Amino acid sequence: MIGVKKTARDLAFYPPSHPSLAQSLDRACQALLGLLTREAPLTITVGRDSLQYGKAPLGKDNFVLRQLAADLHTRRIERILFDPGLGPDDVRGFLEMLSMDPKRLMEEGGAARVLQMKGVSRLHVTELEVRFEDEAQAAAPVPLMEPPPIPSEAVAAPEAAPEAQPPPEEAPTLEGLLNRLEEATDIGTYQRTAARLLEWGRMARSGNDIETFVRVLSAFVFHTHPQSVKPPWVRPEAEQAIAALGDASGIAYVIGKLCEKDCALDDDLIFLLVSLGDAAVPPLLERLAEEETLSARRKVMGTLSRLGPVALPHLVAGLKDSPWYVVRNLVLVLGTIGLPEAVPPLRPVLAYPDPRVRKEVVKALTRIGTAAAADALLQRLGDPDPGLRQSVIAALGTLKVTRAIGPLAEVARQFSAFSKEADTQKAAATALGSIGDPQVIPVLVELLRRRTWLNRRLNDEVRAAPAPAQGPVGPAPA
């Protein structure tokens, strides 16, 4: 169920064709199918801020599950039934319904009606009943009996009644304010509610209540999404609120909590940092340079990778004057992002003094995989480090760079009786087999026919190297 909530958030954030969304949907579907293999059908009961599986509460102390329960309850869902045979389309339809604005969902007939229109057949919901007739009767005025007339002589001057005091206004709850923000139909109500929520957010930050801070900031972030159905005037108001909570102190707070060990809100915090965009990149890079914990560095690098093109200029700038270990991490992030624009700034880093950095550049260029990336790798075929030369050769084979056949053939032909050089020659022969172009046939035949009395074992290993990688070589059959 935690995966369901996270995928619902991804569905609201990513465009329909984004690969990360497809992966998230697949994970959520596989998790639910795994549960159905143990019990089918599977029923989840929804409370105001909790979920129940059978008679047992489901993750009552888990913030993500409490948030999911609140989202379901706001959409008047009382129970969810998962049938055997549940498919990806059923999960996607349910999550699309869950990501809809509650007001729009009610206008379209409610959750069950929307699921039916989306063709969801293996997942059913029971909705909370709304008794409009009872409410109308309760609200109807009770007729009063007319009192009998009082003789005029008995009428005395009325005493001044004490002025009626309005009942004290109840302090709004966070849930109430979030619902009020969602239901606001005019800019005045939205602004007043946003101001109250900003107070909650600031108090949460000062009191180290990350769950409340995430809920408040996320509410405004969703109102700026391109697929939001809110009126046009909502977006600038939400952006102002985001700027107030997501200032330098707010970003530092979120990054600090993300880097904590065993943080239960990793995905939510990364989502917020990615939503904050360019403003989050410099503090993330600063934390990456200072962080000593490997797990925290991985989280920071993962966040930078998801920022994608927004982070590219900052990452490139950091390649010039940073320590070697920071440069290596920046190169890793650039490779994960995989933008062709990263090739020109990565090319000079192939000559970095530390071979660990150069090896990471080879990996990054292989991931990018463009013709320009292949050219940069080909120029590094003569790297002085034997291990790095082998990495470059393997990359050229992986990318099937036909321009590399000549240089690779030359390396493979230069037999040496020393094992280190023989490893490089084996790598070249393997890469030629991986390329699989007709041009490699004469070279492979030549290697197979080669005989030597000097270290025959190594020579045989070089001759046999292309076999495991070699697919069909030559033109495709007619």
Sheet containing 51-53, strands listed edge to edge, beginning at the edge strand earlier in sequence? 56-58, 51-53, 42-46, 77-82, 123-127
- Centre a 10 Å sphere on the Cβ of residue 134 and count the other Cβ atoms it contains: 9
> Closest by alpha carbon to 81, among 12, 24, 127, 34?
127
**What is the average per-residue pLDDT within 444-461?**
56
3-state secondary structure the chain: CHHHHHHHHHHHHCCCCCHHHHHHHHHHHHHHHHHHCCCCCEEEEECCCCEEECCEEECCCCHHHHHHHHHHHHCCEEEEEECCCCCHHHHHHHHHHHCCCHHHHHHCCCHHHHHHHCCCCCEEEEECCCCHHHHHHHHCCCCCCCCCCCCHHHCCCCCCCCCCCCCCCCCCCHHHHHHHHHHCCCHHHHHHHHHHHHHHHHHHHHCCCHHHHHHHHHHHHHCCCCCCCCCCCHHHHHHHHHHHHCCHHHHHHHHHHHCCCCCCCHHHHHHHHHHHHHHHHHHHHHHHHHCCCHHHHHHHHHHHHHHHHHCHHHHHHHHHHCCHHHHHHHHHHHHHHCCHHHHHHHHHHHHCCCHHHHHHHHHHHHHHCCHHHHHHHHCCCCCCCHHHHHHHHHHHHHCCCHHHHHHHHHHHHCCCCCHHHHHHHHHHHHHHHHHCCHHHHHHHHHHHHCCCCCCHHHHHHHHHCHHHHCCCCCCCCC
In this prediction, residue 338 carries a pLDDT of: 93
pLDDT of residue 36: 66
Q: What is the per-residue pLDDT across 267-294, written as a single tens digit (0 to 9) for each? A: 899 999 999 999 999 999 999 999 999 9
- d(CA 299, CA 288) in angstroms, rounded, equals 9
Instruction: Give the tokens for residue 459.
Output: 């020579």
Q: Is the pLDDT of residue 453 over 70?
A: no
Which pLDDT band holds residue 10 (cuts at 50, 70, 90)?
low
Asked which of 34-48, 170-184, 272-286, 364-378 is least confident by mean pLDDT, the reply is 34-48
What integer best gives the mean pLDDT of the chain? 80
The pLDDT value recorded for residue 135 is: 42
Q: Residue 435 contacts by C-beta under 8 Å, 6 or more apart in sequence?
A: 396, 397, 400, 401, 402, 404, 405, 408
The proportion of the chain whose per-residue pLDDT surpasses 90, expressed as a percent, equals 41
- CA gap 223, 235 in Å, rounded: 6
Q: How far apart are CA 392 and CA 365, in angstroms?
A: 10
pLDDT computed for residue 264 by the predictor:
80
CA distance 335 to 317: 15
Q: Which residues contact 267 (CB under 8 A, 6 or more apart)?
A: 6, 9
Closest C-alpha to 396, from 409, 412, 378: 378
pLDDT digits (tens, 9 = 90+) for 395-425: 999 999 999 989 988 888 776 555 567 788 8
The more confidently predicted of residues 166 and 129 is: 129
